[in-house]
Amino acid sequence: MRLEIGEILIRDIQFGDRTKVSGGTLYINKSELVAKLIDDEHIKSISVELAKPGESTRITPVKDVIEPRVKVDGPGNIFPGVLGKVTTAGSGRTHVLKGCAVVSCGKIVGFQEGIIDMSGPGADYTPFSKLFNIVLVIEPAAGLDQYGYEKAARMAGLKAAVWLGEAGRNVQPDNIISYETKSVLEQAAEYPDLPKIGYVYMLQTQGLLHDTYVYGVDAKKIVPSLLYPTEVMDGAILSGNCVSACDKNTTYHHQNNPVITSLYEAHGKEINFMGVIITNENVFLADKERSSNWTAKLAKFLGLDGVIISQEGFGNPDTDLIMNCKKIEKEGVKTVILTDEYAGRDGASQSLADSDPLADAVVTAGNANELIVLPKMDRVIGMLDYTDKIAGGFSGSLRPDGSIEAEIQVITGATNELGFNRLSATMY
């Protein structure tokens, strides 16, 4: 399967009379965008604000981040099974408004949304401070429960990203990047002397607003499955979860998964990238055993020499991570795991809730318990009244002067377990 990504570089965003891309600027007709999104009985109001890199701006509480895209050639549409009919993503050409994002914002749970600072020390911990952000502050209709609110906010963000992405349909991209993975037998034969490497992609599926969707299906209902890597890059997987902000995979993370792009960069040179195994993170032991058994079976079935395993979240999913690791290792397939740590503010506590001697190749995305002070910002998009309750915050986190003292857990993407961040560790 072959996919072309056409990158249209966005260097500024502004409101205007017409939604279009011109000279690297995305112009947005604000009233048309609101009208597109407000046609939902579950939404009371939506305000749209712009946030640019370097501004003294704080965005919170962040629900999701989504990259605007449009399908310009080939079958399917953006987010198949959600905003269009179920077709297979991952082929043809997709245009991307690179450098901007839709950020959905709302107090859905109150303790597992996040913060994006566009400047200051907090900005260094999130990749989204470098983007031109179109922020949707979504107020729910009266009496709407958390589940309805989450769905309404999720759909509003996706609709906005698709609507804005249309502005790039007829624009000549600045860059066109091609990715291709062939059928299993063809791919194995193409580079017979290179190690066959796969990617085990763990998806957050613990329920109670801890959900991820694959072609519109709640991934807790799936058994481990094979995907072409280009399907992931083309919108097959999207976020529907409200988990700790630091290691949550937003939809933007799925669209731009750095594990996949890095494996493609090494493909045909150092490795033979064979494909992606998606699996879920379960609550009950029997489900964990079933999914980890299937994951190990698929790794063996593909004849892989090694895999990279990434998880999403911490605590309970650590068990799924270690189960996948040790069962795949026992099939004779080498593993490297990607995770983050909750090692206490002093870094002295056990980093993961589970471990095994076979998990001896580990990449860490940082310790989410480290403290940081986020200075007061001149402008807040959203609201601050829940700050002391957010995961990583505590009573008194929001100081009288408007600054925030909290763990980096509050920052969206700070310790992302795909490595989509700046934190790691070096052993001496």
Residue 55, CB half-sphere, CA atoms under 13 Å: how many? 18
pLDDT in tens, 101-150: 999 999 888 778 899 999 999 999 999 999 999 999 999 999 999 999 99
Strand-strand pairing, 132-140 and 43-51: antiparallel
Question: What three-state secondary structure class fits 80?
Answer: strand
Record the pTM. Answer: 0.96
Q: Tell me which of 100, 105, 242, 325 is the catalytic residue.
A: 242
Identify the DSSP state of 82: T
Rounded CA gap, 126 and 105, in Å? Answer: 16
Sheet containing strand 2-9, strands side by side:
69-73, 92-98, 2-9, 175-180
Confidence of residue 428 (pLDDT cuts 50, 70, 90): very low
Determine the residue type at 394: F
242 part of the active site? yes
pLDDT in tens, 52-86: 999 999 999 999 999 999 999 998 889 999 998 89
Apex 41 CA angle, 39 and 46, nearest 5: 60
**Does 427 have pLDDT greater than 60?**
no
Q: What percent of the chain has pLDDT over 90?
A: 89
Exposure string over 59-89, b if 16+ CB within 10 A, otherwise e? bbbbbbbbbbbbbbebebbbbbbbbeeeebb
**Does 287 have pLDDT greater than 50?**
yes
Confidence of residue 425 (pLDDT cuts 50, 70, 90): low
* Residue range 270-291: mean pLDDT, rounded: 97
Q: What percent of the chain has pLDDT over 70?
A: 99
| Mean pLDDT, all residues of the chain | 95
Q: Supply 414's token pair.
A: 């700070």
The continuous run of DSSP H or E covering 330 comes out as helix 316-330
Say what the pLDDT of residue 181 is.
97
